Structure 1
Amino acid sequence: MIRANLDMDALRSMVAGVEFGSFARAATALGRSQSAISMHLKKLEQQTGQVLFRRSGRGLVPTEAGEMLLAHARRILALNDAALERLGTAAQPAAIRLGLPQDFFEDVMPDALQAFAERHPGTHVEVRAGRNHALAQEVRAGQLDAALAFFPQGSDGQGERIATLPLVWIGAKGSQAAETPLPLVLFDHPCLFRQTALRGLDQAGRAWRLALTTPSLPGLWAALRTGHGLTARTRHRIPEGLREIDRHEPGLPDLPPIEVRLLSAQDPAPAAADLCAVLRETAERHIARHDSR
């Protein structure tokens, strides 16, 4: 007779739900949705042919059959985990997930990762490049533990302000600031820098045209070097061969400053909280070096 096998993931969800006192908290701890936890419980009830939980107030409590399975589940999971540990294949700690704009990939990122590695050797850090709106959404959704992102000055929203930076016009030496319409090199939509630059030009009555759009910061710098036009950016690490355009050039409006903010997940793990502290210190130091004019 072929016997059925109890689902290990479902058993782990069951035990976590009882130990955390809530299947919602268990879902968070296991990195699953509440609907996935509910499906696990239904699967166990189908496999055993028993009602395993009954509702009590707002929660669920084990039935007599549930208590019996719970005792077996704890032993099964303990044996499973011990076997994996003995064989050296136990699960590694979850990675710390960090998101950054491309502006900070050459200085803030390597220095922050080096400092973090000295405090937490062997911890896996997963780094993603992203746009501001996407980074903020991923932190809110729990898909990132920490991120740096740009925000309009004084805007409502998440995050701790690290610095307020001026936006300046940037182009190649001898660039086309006096051309009409003004040729622009910008990120594709959506982009805070693009939005701010176009709004400033429109308010100043300055005609403009899009000469080149790109999703890549290296691509943007390369287009500027070849004389495609101007862009609006911070002073942070303006590459060689490019310069800040005098704001008194004809028809170039002053642009409002932007904020750099540190975003972090709610109730971060100790290692993630440490990464936030390292990121804050590293970003403040590099921004002061490049953007203090």
Structure 2
Amino acid sequence: MQTLDLAVMRTLLAAVETGSFAGAARKVGRSESAVSLQLKRLEEQIGEPVFLRAGKQMTLTGAGSRLVEYARRLLDLNDEALSAASESSTGGTVTLGVPHDVTETWLPAVIEGFRRSHPSATLKVVEGRSAILLSRLADDQIDLAIVFSAKRPENAVWSADLPMAWIGRDDYGLKKHQPLRLAAFDPPCFFRAAAIASLEHAGIDWSIGYVSNTLPDLWSAVKLDLGIAVRTPAAVPAGLAILDSEHGLPDLPPFRVSLCRSATELKRPITDRLRVILEECLALSVSAAT
């Protein structure tokens, strides 16, 4: 019986998550030719092609899709075993900063995976706006942070495009001769700025109908028809809907969701493990949202 190489499994997942051999090479710290050779040998080992290529596009084959699921499980088990075998890697505290939108969407799966692999560690979560989280990273107050921005931050270790969406009541309709009312956070707010810029570019009058400091409060205002909001479409509350051009609304640009790391944070095993869990969770969430 042949044995799968876990390093190759990690490269396979990197290729799937980044969508290219070049991206996988950057992620696993190998040359592009080395990544290509690894995956070629993997195909020879299983006797099936893993990817179908059409120009720069790569699509998993049926065998490749099945193998990816096993690769994730193998690597999760490998990482858990390494953590369990080293007492120094299972203790300590790691601090994660997250935007409001992440708390009820991606965060629970991250916490579950981290607690399973590091039962003796403490995960401290700090919720806040992206600009504040980046500032706290720079001041070494947190170790890792998920942030939303127009461009990829310099200290990002993972980044991807995610769409923005207008979110309002199911029965929303833009009223003629009346300014569009926005429900938004106080500035500085990335989503607020994007909404205003899109409305002004489209020549649509607007006003701030409601200002909030918390996401649950913002959703309550939208449900009360005090305004519509611009947020990530990752999780739209019950009773609200994603609105589009059929509702008289302009297109919104995509934004970057990034995982950033403190430049001075020591490369501790617990931080690296949390980073891996976050990257996997974010990649799946972005894929589902797009």
Same fold by TM-score, threshold 0.5 exceeded?
Answer: yes
Q: Give me the CA root mean square deviation.
A: 1.8
- Report how far residue 187 of structure 1 moved: 1.0
Cross-structure match for 2:116: 118
Report how many aligned residue pairs link the two structures: 198
Q: Does 1:273 align with 2:272?
A: yes
- Report how far residue 254 of structure 1 moved: 1.1
- Could you tell me which of 165, 168, 178 is aligned with 2:165? 168
Sequence identity (%): 31
Superposed CA deviations along residues 228-248 of structure 1, whole A, max 9, x for unmatched, are: 121111211011110111224
- Mapping of residues 248-267 of structure 1, within 5 Å: 248-250=246-248, 252-266=249-263, 267=266
The residue identity in structure 2 corresponding to 1:254 is: D
Q: Does 1:285 align with 2:272?
A: no
Q: 2-side partners of 1:169 and 1:230: how far apart? A: 7
Cross-structure match for 1:210: 208
Q: 1-side partners of 2:256 and 2:104: how far apart? A: 19
When the two structures are superposed, what TM-score results if normalisation uses the length of structure 1?
Answer: 0.64
Q: 1-side partners of 2:98 and 2:190: how far apart? A: 15
Q: 2-side partners of 1:118 and 1:167: how far apart? A: 32
Aligned partners of 2:173 and 2:247 also within 8 Å: no
Q: Who wins on radius of gyration, i.e. which is larger? A: 1
- Report how far residue 105 of structure 1 moved: 1.2
Q: 2-side partners of 1:111 and 1:258: how far apart? A: 23
**Alpha-carbon spacing, 1:130–1:268, altered in 2? closer, same or farther (3 Å):** farther
- Could you tell me which of 123, 144, 147 is aligned with 1:146? 144
- Could you tell me which of 187, 190, 194 is aligned with 1:189? 187
- Report how far residue 170 of structure 1 moved: 1.0
Aligned partners of 1:170 and 1:232 also within 8 Å: yes
Q: 2-side partners of 1:170 and 1:198: how far apart? A: 14
Superposed CA deviations along residues 131-162 of structure 1, whole A, max 9, x for unmatched, are: 0001111112111111101011x455331343
Q: 1-side partners of 2:282 and 2:152: how far apart? A: 20
The residue identity in structure 2 corresponding to 1:281 is: E
- Mapping of residues 67-78 of structure 1, within 5 Å: none
Q: 1-side partners of 2:241 and 2:131: how far apart? A: 28
Cross-structure match for 1:8: none
SS of 2:222's equivalent in the other structure is helix
Aligned partners of 1:169 and 1:247 also within 8 Å: no
- What 5-or-longer segments of structure 2 have no aligned partner? 1-89
- Report how far residue 286 of structure 1 moved: 2.7
Q: 1-side partners of 2:114 and 2:196: how far apart? A: 39
- Mapping of residues 74-153 of structure 1, within 5 Å: 94-152=92-150
When the two structures are superposed, what TM-score results if normalisation uses the length of structure 2?
Answer: 0.64
**Alpha-carbon spacing, 1:135–1:156, altered in 2? closer, same or farther (3 Å):** closer
The residue identity in structure 1 corresponding to 2:109 is: D
Cross-structure match for 1:234: 232
Q: Does 1:177 align with 2:174?
A: yes
